[in-house]
Copies of this chain bind each other. A is one copy, B any other.
Amino acid sequence: MALHQAILAKNDRLAERNRGYFKAKGLLVLNVLSSPGSGKTAFIERTVADLGDRLRAGVIAGDLETDNDAKRLREHGIPTVQITTGNVCHLEAEMVARAMEKIPLDGLDVLVIENVGNLVCPASYDLGEDLRVVLLSVTEGEDKPLKYPVMFRTAQVVVVNKMDIAEAVGFDREAALRNIRRTSPEATILEVSAKTGDGMEMWYHYLEHAVRHKRSASTNRP
């Protein structure tokens, strides 16, 4: 436990260093989290592709083993760096610090960090992000927020994905929203389908507003 605390303290310090670095670059940084299969990569792909020139985005994609996600993103011409964590079930601030040296950040407005597919381990690791975005899909069960309270409590945005199949899988929307509201009372809740694009425009408006807000707080931007 003492060792775990020391690792977290070190991570927190490096996360603050990242936060300062991102602030100086005037970048809005997202830490995107979900279980495997919630459609994280599809959601990010659609976001960066749709944003196009409205907001220029780069991606740091974390995965246990493969770099398939990064390949898919690069096909869209998105600056992407892959972090393969091996047997580590979360990204750490230090991994992000190394990865961000490999992306030309100065041309970007948003940096999206796709965390490892997991709702437990990544919860305690600050990466220096501005916003934690937690995805859950309509196939996952409405009680997910109650099962992963730490993750949902620390999220600024909760995205309910795959709304296009909500009816087909018997998704209980009222119960899900009630549970999200209980664990994440302050969070912005978005209902989308990354596949069809439904609901995504509200997400883009949210991002544009957040980028403007970040910029105005960073007077020393180059």
Question: A residues near B, CB below 8 A?
Answer: 12-14, 16-25, 100-101, 103-106, 128, 219-220, 222
Contact = CB atoms under 8 A, between A and B. Distances in A.
Chain A: interface secondary structure? helix
A16 B100 CA distance: 17
Nearest to A101: B219
A14 B16 contact: yes
Contacts of A14: 16
Contacts of A220: 25, 100-101, 103-106
Nearest to A221: B106
A22 B220 CA distance: 11
Contacts of A222: 106, 222
A128 B19 CA distance: 13
A100 B105 CA distance: 22
Contacts of A100: 220
6 contacts: A17-B19, A17-B23, A21-B24, A100-B220, A101-B219, A101-B220
Nearest to A219: B101
A109 to B, nearest CB: 15
Contacts of A219: 101
Contact of A24 (B12, B20, B104): B20
**Best-buried of A21, A101, A105, A106 by chain B (most CB within 10 Å):** A21
A103 B24 CA distance: 13
Most buried by B among A12, A24, A105, A128: A24
Most buried by B among A17, A25, A104: A17
Contacts of A18: 20
Contact of A20 (B16, B101, B103, B104): B16
